[in-house]
Structure 1
Amino acid sequence: MFVDRPVGIDLGTTNSEIALCHPSERRIYLYADRFGRKTMPSAVAWDAKNASLLVGHAARARRTKGGAIVESIKRKMGQTTRTEVGPHALLPEEISAAILKELRTRFAEYLAAEAAGGSDVDMRVARATVTVPAYFDAPQVEATRRAAEQSGLEVLSILQEPTAAAIHATWKHRLGDGNFLVYDLGGGTFDVSIVRCLGGEYQVLAIDGDNYLGGDDLDRRFAERLRLDLVKRGYTLELDVRQNADDALRWSKLVHLAQEIKESLSTRDVVHVSKQDIFEDQGGESVGYDAEIGRAEYESVVGGLIDTTLDCCERALQKSRQLASVGIDGIDHVLLVGGSTRVPLVVRKVTELLAEKSKNAKPLQDEVDTCVALGAAIHAAQLGGLRIGDAAKKSRVSFLTPLAGEGKQLRLGVRVEEAPEGARTLAVRANEQPLAATAFAPGENVRLDVPLGENEENPATLALVDAKGATLAELSFALYRVRAGEARPRASALSRPSVVAKDIALEVVRAGRRERRVLLSHGTGLPAKVSREFFTVDQSGRVVLRLLQERLPIKTLVIEVPPETKVGSRVELELSCDESMRMEARAEVAGQELWALVEAPSAVRYEKVEAILALLDEAEEAGRTLWGAFGQAYHRECEKLCASIRELLAIDPDKCDAHCQKLRLLIDEFRGGEHEAMTPPMHRFEQVLDTLRRIVYRATGPLVGMDRTAWEERLTRIAEEAQRAYEASDGPAWRRLFNELQALVETAYQEELSTVRHDDPTYVARRFASVFAWASRLELDLEDFQPSATEEVRGVQLAEKERLVAWLREKCSRPLAAASGGERDVAETRRTLEQVASELERIQAALERIPSIGLVTDRGSR
């Protein structure tokens, strides 16, 4: 006889875990090896002696032996880049499949010993729910699914990791309805999700995160500190990880040392490091390191990365406030997930800046390494039930409902998937006594009301009986009684546990130019289906529908239609996306229909230094054409990304590539795509035009010397001239009109402010909200500031940053807090706001100058 209960798997960047929820729902089996280790390293290496792959601890042990191992492959999921593993060149999903196959094999052995209790029951590991970071996009999710299928698993669902953690927390602590902020800092990725639990259903309200930020990055950041310290001591260590294999090995050993220091400082304030013969430097000198490192020193180096995660949290909270009015004060529980949340700085900052402002001042921190797999196991049990069978007797039955209940009887949902020839009746028995029976047909779902015994576990059998009453096959199982008040919450299989990570759009023609029309926006709950109507623009005999993920093409549908089809004929497009981000598209035009699965995009890789430098030059050039409020927004984000790219160029090629992708999108958003002749793009022009129209139509009198009629004429003229310039590809005229429009909107906004009665309570309330948002944004910018990697410059920059933080707190945050409390005079509040705004301008200017502290200028005074 075999038992098949679906498992939950957390395929992690650093470690992976697998678990199974017992049918009694009282406990969860979590894999542990013979040493009690509950996690398996996500590491793969080649064993030349046996000509086979090594996976897990055996592979990671190659670190100390200098052998080549593959780690953090999760960061490359969805890419087509192959990695050398011995004689093989494998895709990321193929390497991940090897990890999952090893997990399957080991867990089957573990269950045979633990769950089956030494019996001859075959405990199968065949079906699974596999988790992914909330910020994984469609190609990464699909690659994870393929990896699981290649390992021999049937994938019941792909579940986002923060949702799995919330499911486990609810199950373990028997929590009721509520809102969770899940802070998930793993080895290679960071996610934050705002999750609402209501009646057993989980809805993701907002997500944010970074697929290239995790414990590995803390290690790399501190490894760079170690490298600089060793250089000061006289070692030759100008490493080029990208181009030199020996340098890559030296760097990996420094990273490993940094990881050991991080883990030691999680439990101690000071750690003494004494390592000899770590490796040879570039001059052949044996490198040793001997020093005392304090927790405060470590935190000063990695603190900026933790601040970046909190920036993501704030963005997620802003989205959840907009969508569902759930801010930090509406969060019931803050959950800490992932091994990197053991770092004391993480716990302290999350507690101070998030948990203490929520309804529970202390974050939940339960089984941070394994809670995702545990939650996935609970969800998998709800989706897949329990399957039992006997291959020899050709019988297989699935229980579709839980086997545990509180009442006197339990309603069982059962499907007979395979039965011996002649079987007609399904009977439930206990101690040879009949409990319930019903007729069935193979593949049909049936219901049986079965009396529930008084014991916690009540053994029973399921018999397949022929028309004469003869038992053709009998399968053993058990029913479980749940005592009053002991029932654990169940995650509904009908929940919407995932959201769209990136915009899905359609390329359309507008004003003679290609533009994007968003179909599924970032943050849309899954599963989702959207229908849109478009129209043909020519009589070419075909309709081309090009779907994009952000700006990357993911699928092109081409429908052949009669050439005489009229221009303006209706085109209907339907796009559906399930909770695993698997997308299907259906299009219909002129009676012709086409259906297709939507494939993953292939991103442009920034692997060569020349391409990266060209991108940095393009970013700088784009900044010269942007000014005013849009220019400021671009420069703030661009400078952070460019500084990060320069820092990562030689030490972390994969993360450097990810930041290059972000910079590419930023340039495209503000200035237009690489191959667009017209910059800035049409959508930017339309945004500015819409902003100006709103200012004009809410004005009660003349604005900038023009009345409403004059404004309408001018805006119509600008729009018409801009459209002609865009269609004619007249770049100079297009940019002149855009600049005219931007100047008008900023002038009109300033004049609107000058005409407002400053003692009007409504104005003061709006002004307070604006100034408060400005102060909050500056606070996040200060937290997110990434100092220079050069030690001497870094110290000066951090000192200036701390000065600005204290300035912001003293001159802005405290006055704003005082102005928000109780009844205050409107005039006094307005004066406070103007003073704070003046201070904010000075602080922002000082913040923008931090990256250039100490640099020289070519404009001297004479």
Structure 2
Amino acid sequence: MARQQISKAIGIDLGTTNSAVAIMNPTDTDIVLHKDPKTKRETTPSCVWKDPRSLQKIVGAKAFQRIGTTPEPIRSVKRVMGKQTSVRLGDEQLTPEQVSSLILREMKQQIEEDVARFSSESAEWIVDRAIVTVPAYFDQPQIEATRKAAEMAGFQVLELLHEPTAAASYYCWQNQVQNGIFLVYDFGGGTFDVSILRSIEGAFEVLGISGNNRLGGDDIDSILAEELRQRLVSEEYALDLDIKNDPEDRHRFEKLRLLAEGVKKALSTSDEFILRSQSSLYDKQGQPVNIDIPFERDEIEALMRPLIARTIPYCYQALELAQKKAGITLADIDAIILAGGTTHIPLVRELVRQTFCADPTASEPRAKCTEPVYKKVDTIVALGAAIRASATGGVINYDAQRSVRVLFRGISVTAARQVTIGGRVEALAPDLDLTDGYIRLTIPDLGFEDEQALKRGDSFGFTRVPLQTSAENLLTFEIFSGSDTLIATVNHSISQSKDALRPTGGSSGTALLSKALSLEVSRDGKPYRKELIKALSTLPASQDDVFYHPGNTQRLRLPLYQQKKMVKEIVIEDLPTLAKGTPVHFTLHVDELAGITVKGTIGKKTFETQIEPPPERKPPTATEVEALDESFQKLTTTLHTQKKSRVEEQYKKARESYEAAVEKEEPEQAVHDFEELEELVASIAPTQSSIEPPRDVFEKVVGECLNLKNFVEALSTYSGITQQGYNSREISKAIETQQIQGDQAFQAGDQTRYTNALVALYALRDHLALLYAKAVKSENTLSESEKAASYIHSILVEATEIDQIATGRKRKDFQNEIILIKNQLNAAARDIQTNPLLVQHRANQAWVRLQQIKNVLVNSQEDGDDGKLVEDHTS
């Protein structure tokens, strides 16, 4: 007997160290979380190993048991998702997406065991759709890599749900909370995330996000493993390990990490623990390492505390974003929800409680709760993802012949006695035509029947459908063609219960852009990042813009950034010769699954591209680090005391992590930490994108005012002519006043004050330019010395402007020559009184050479063979 097939979406928490999978039952009244039939474990190690004999790829506990052996398994692959790299699995190289797809395929097979129990004689339940969770602070390449991995595992991906949002969904569903403001503190094995969420009638809004994609329980294990290693060295074991270059040493340290993880877990439930092990660990001299070492919670907490304390500033960053977006402060937080295995550590929970939870002795307002919520932290993300999957994915029914499928929206349980049932019919057989078709609904037990024509998109919606109370209601749907031929029949069940739980966090979309997307363009000859799509924008999102061709190139570069990190690079090649200023029409689109596409036109050429990740960034130089440190020190002087101390602590911890990564020769970690330092500096720097025009334009106008003032004064000095309406002291004071006011307004993000200062400077410049014009008209009355002084001054101004272009073009040779020309002009100026005609001759030679340099620079390739940036004239 042919059976109809029923597809219900599942929820997967793809974790760094452990993963979990869940699905809501057919009536949406409870959640089925997969448990290992033998061990009853609710999570599966995110570990993959290839058996060298059978060549079988093994995922989970058996793979985890192979840690410290050869061939070694792959673990923590989540940390390299989105990178252009590969990892070795036995005798083959796999991409991070391929490894993750193996883990996801294992999750699929596991939940299929549970879903099989839903099947009956008339219906077979299948698993082909999923919501997969990702850290809220993931970058676009990491999110896209996760989507690819899920598709490779055989899933239709409905959503890439933020892990904190999933945790909040479960908390609200379990506690039947429809409204509230929550801080979700998600400390997993490899990542840390924090989100501020607001639920209004069960629909979530993300107000603030922060985190660190390389901070988690794995790092704590490494710290404790190093402590264990040092204690064993003190017992004269040969364990001076070269982890980077010696595979055997790497295996030894992995075994130490496993032992350290056991110590961490044991001390999470007791104050003392004696580690005893006569394992297969041998030191470098081949001696077996017999371990009998006592540990106390206090001493272990002292080692862990600096790393755990790094999470707190991220929480304040998320709160600052929530305050900017919605006026939400810590005092508005109703509950602090914990997620992730690392929150099992008592110190983590205590630090969160002491810092954020209600305390009558605290000097500042705190959250309303007295304790963080510590329940199901290992599986809360998967449970929440299952709830979201049911609410947003609905149920898909295939008829027995698989000629059509019917998507039923919403969940399959309700407390109402009458419901609206909506969905969409899709023809699967190529010869089926649903044009002018209709659908008939019958409920035999109630004698109910209704039918309606299929609407646009072959959708339907029955209203005021009666249900039997406290029962499971079987609804039959028959689909007819326009000629009244029965095409297919499917059945759908809805349970009515007065105790039905509402789908908190339900069907409204939560897909959003964690970090703003900016395009690097050229403004006034300098690279500038223009924000196209703002942080926390709801997805899908699009942005249209017009830029301009820089001229003299057949290759354009359009680098996309999130904060200080380049996440994509669009390269448009083989362009025809186009004039400078040719419009570049540009559309950036980010879909619900965070896929980025770009399309546009340049002249007659149309381009459309799926963007690939850029090459991996190289570690910074010592000079770059030093310059960043100097910028940070300068910027912190403008912060108020409380924020300054928090920012300095966060910078210090990231800086220490960077130094440790450099010492251990871990380039990926070093780049990650340096990018965090860059982002921290950017977060306290004046926000360029929110104030127009950019700061460099403002400074240019100030410079023009000062140059004109100096020139007018120079003419007055040599000619003895006093310009009417000119008072040097008052003009200087006016320029200085407007410069200070403009700087302060820019720092404060006050567009009105900033514009007013700029307008005032424009007026001053125009006034000085008028005085300059009058002076030029009087030039015939000037002496030759005065003419020479005027000429040299104007050429020096021109030299400064050309030097700025040379700097932008990275032409050190021209920069050096311009310095030489300036020195020659200043030397010639000494002869103005004695031989002004010779001075004018030398100045003319300098002017001719400067124009030659300028012509080369203006018409040169901006970035050589790498291509040019498009130009933005917004300012």
Contact 2:702 2:735 survives alignment (8 Å): no
1:728 aligns with 2:732: no
Identity of paired residues, percent?
30
* 1:204 correspondence with 2:206: yes
Q: Given that residues 277 and 291 in structure 2 are in contact (C-alpha distance below 8 angstroms), is that contact kept between their aligned partners in structure 1?
A: yes
Task: Provide the residue aligned with 1:27 in structure 2.
Answer: 30
Map of 1:858 onto structure 2 = none
1:67 deviation in Å?
5.1
SS in 2 for 1:392: coil
The reply to whether residue 4 of structure 1 matches residue 30 of structure 2 is no
Alpha-carbon deviation of 1:469? 8.3
Q: What is the CA-CA distance between 1:147 and the residue it aligns to?
A: 0.4
2:80 to 67, 70, 76: 76
**Structure 1 residues 664 and 302, CA, compared in 2 at 3 Å: closer, same or farther?**
closer
Aligned residue among 658, 661, 671 for 1:645: 658
Does 1:527 pair with 2:540? yes
Q: Distance in 2 between matches of 1:662 and 1:338?
A: 25
Check if 1:14 corresponds to 2:17: yes
Q: 1:204-231: per-residue Cα shift (whole Å, max 9, x none)? A: 1111111111111111111111112122
Matched residue pairs, number? 705
Deviates more, 1:220-229 or 1:15-24: 15-24
SS of 1:38 mapped into structure 2: coil
The amino acid that maps onto 1:552 is: M
1:142–1:684 Cα change, 3 Å: same
Question: Which one of the candidate residues 305, 308, 327 is aligned to 1:306?
Answer: 308
CA distance in 1 between partners of 2:43 and 2:703 (Å):
57
Alignment RMSD (CA, Å): 3.9
Partner residue, 1:615: 621
1:90 aligns with 2:103: no
3-state SS, counterpart of residue 448 of structure 1: strand
Aligned twin of 1:662 = 675
In structure 2, relative to structure 1, the CA distance for the partners of 1:733 and 1:476 (3 Å cut) is same
Distance 2:648 2:812 in 1: 23
Match of 2:414 in 1: 405
Match status 1:39 vs 2:60: no
Match in the other structure for 1:457: 472
Separation in structure 1 between the aligned mates of residue 181 and residue 702 of structure 2, nearest angstrom: 35
SS at match of 1:193: strand
Q: Partners of 1:238 and 1:516 in 2: how far apart?
A: 47
Aligned partner of residue 62 in structure 1, secondary structure: coil
Q: Of residues 230, 233, 238 in structure 2, which corresponds to 1:231?
A: 233
Of residues 220-229 and 278-287 in structure 1, the stretch that sits farther from structure 2 once superposed is 278-287
- When Rg is computed on C-alpha atoms for both structures, the one with the higher figure is 2
Distance 1:63 1:627, change over 3 A: closer
**Shift of the alpha carbon at 1:619?**
2.2
Q: Which amino acid aligns with 1:132?
A: V
In 2: Cα distance, 1:691 partner to 1:638 partner = 33
What is the rounded CA distance, in whole Å, between the counterparts of 2:324 and 2:471 in structure 1?
Answer: 47
Report the AA paired with residue 500 of structure 1.
S
How far 1:587 sits from its partner (Å)? 2.7
TM-score (norm 1): 0.74
Provide closer, same or farther for how the CA distance between residues 519 and 181 of structure 1 changes in structure 2, counting only shifts above 3 A. Answer: same
* Match of residue 387 from structure 1: 396
Residue 316 of structure 1 is matched in structure 2 by 318
Deviation at 1:24, TM superposition (A): 2.8
Q: Which amino acid aligns with 1:619?
A: V
Within the alignment, does 1:446 sit opposite 2:449 as a pair?
no
Structure 2 CA distance for aligned equivalents of residues 710 and 479 of structure 1: 74
Specify the alignment match of 2:596 in structure 1.
583
Q: Which amino acid aligns with 2:545?
A: R
CA 1:237/1:620 → structure 2, altered by over 3 Å: closer, same or farther? farther
| Structure 2 gaps, min length 5 | 359-365, 639-643, 686-692, 705-727, 743-760, 766-795, 817-875
User: 1:667 and 1:323 mapped to 2: Cα distance?
Assistant: 19
Task: Map Cα deviations across residues 443-499 of structure 1 (whole Å, 9 max, x no partner).
Answer: 611122321111232233333467998866543331211316x44244343334433
* 1:494 aligned onto 2:494: no
* Cα shift at 1:708: 1.9
User: Structure 1's 564 and 123: CA in aligned 2 closer, same or farther, altered over 3 A?
Assistant: closer
Question: 82-91 or 437-446: which moved more?
Answer: 437-446
Q: Match of 1:286, SS?
A: coil
By how many angstroms is 1:290 displaced? 1.4
What's the counterpart of residue 496 of structure 2? 481
Greater mean alpha carbon deviation, residues 217-226 or residues 644-653:
644-653
Q: Partners of 2:611 and 2:123 in 1: how far apart? A: 42
Contact residue 542 and residue 560 of structure 1 kept, 8 A: yes
**Quick one: distance in 1 between partners of 2:290 and 2:247?**
21
Q: Is the 8 A contact 2:390 2:410 kept in 1?
A: no
**Cα distance change, pair 204–667 in 1 and its aligned pair in 2 (3 A):** closer
Consecutive unaligned residues of structure 1, counting only runs of 5 or more, are 607-613, 673-681, 694-701, 736-862
Q: Describe the shift of the 1:471–1:526 C-alpha distance in structure 2 as closer, same or farther (beyond 3 A).
A: closer
Counterpart residue number, 2:566: 552
Contact between 1:560 and 1:592, CA under 8 Å: does it hold in 2? no
Alignment partner, residue 164 of structure 1: 166
Equivalent residue letter for 1:3: I
**Can you list the C-alpha shifts for 1:804-843, whole angstroms capped at 9, x where unaligned?**
xxxxxxxxxxxxxxxxxxxxxxxxxxxxxxxxxxxxxxxx
Matches within 5 A, 1:769-788: none
1:113-512 correspondence to structure 2 within 5 Å: 113=117, 115-116=118-119, 119=121, 121-356=123-358, 357-392=366-401, 394-418=403-427, 425-431=438-444, 434-440=447-453, 444-449=458-463, 450-464=465-479, 473-483=488-498, 486-501=500-515, 503-512=516-525
CA distance in 2, matches of 1:529, 1:138: 15
Distance in 2 (alpha carbons) for counterparts of 1:130 and 1:323: 27
Question: Residue 837 of structure 1 aligns with which residue?
Answer: none
Matched to 2:490, the amino acid is: L
> Shift of the alpha carbon at 1:601?
2.9
Tell me how far apart the structure 2 counterparts of residues 404 and 364 of structure 1 sit (CA, whole Å): 27
**Counterpart for residue 773 of structure 1:** none
TM-score where L is the length of structure 2: 0.73
Q: CA-to-partner distance for each residue in 1:32-83, whole Å, 9 max, x for gaps?
A: 1213221111110011222210111121122376651111111110112211
**Deviating runs (4+, > 6 A) in structure 1?**
419-423, 466-472, 559-562, 624-627, 630-638, 666-670, 682-693, 702-705, 713-722, 730-735
Deviation at 1:418, TM superposition (A): 3.5
- The structure-2 alpha-carbon separation of the partners of 1:435 and 1:555, relative to structure 1 and needing over 3 Å to count, comes to farther
1:106 is the counterpart of 2:110: yes
TM-superposed CA distance for 1:276, in Å, is: 2.4
State whether residues 159 and 511 of structure 2, in contact with CA within 8 Å, keep that contact through their aligned partners in structure 1.
no
Q: Could you tell me how far apart the structure 2 residues matched to 1:638 and 1:733 are?
A: 38
Evaluate the alpha carbon distance shift between residue 623 and residue 439 of structure 1 in structure 2; reply closer, same or farther with a 3 A threshold: closer
CA separation of 1:523 and 1:271: change in aligned 2, threshold 3 A: same
* 1:407-431 CA distance string (max 9 Å, x none): 3321111322238969955333334
Contact 2:658 2:674 in 1 (8 A): no
Contact 1:500/1:525 (8 A) holds in 2: no
Look up the match of 1:789.
none
Mapped to 1, the partners of 2:175 and 2:470 lie a distance apart of 24
Question: For the residues of structure 2 that align with 1:426 and 1:299, how far apart are their CA atoms?
Answer: 65
Aligned with residue 528 of structure 2, among 498, 501, 515: 515
What secondary structure, in the 3-state scheme, does the structure 2 residue paired with 1:499 have? coil
Aligned residue for 2:182, secondary structure, equals strand
The alpha-carbon distance between structure 1 residues 655 and 291, as it changes in their structure 2 partners (threshold 3 A), is farther
Does the aligned pair in 2 maintain the 1:428–1:434 contact within 8 Å? no
3-state DSSP of counterpart to 1:428: strand
Q: Which of 453-462 and 203-212 deviates more?
A: 453-462
Contact 1:460 1:476 in 2 (8 A): yes
CA contact (8 A) 2:167 2:380 kept: yes
Q: Distance in 2 between matches of 1:512 and 1:591?
A: 26
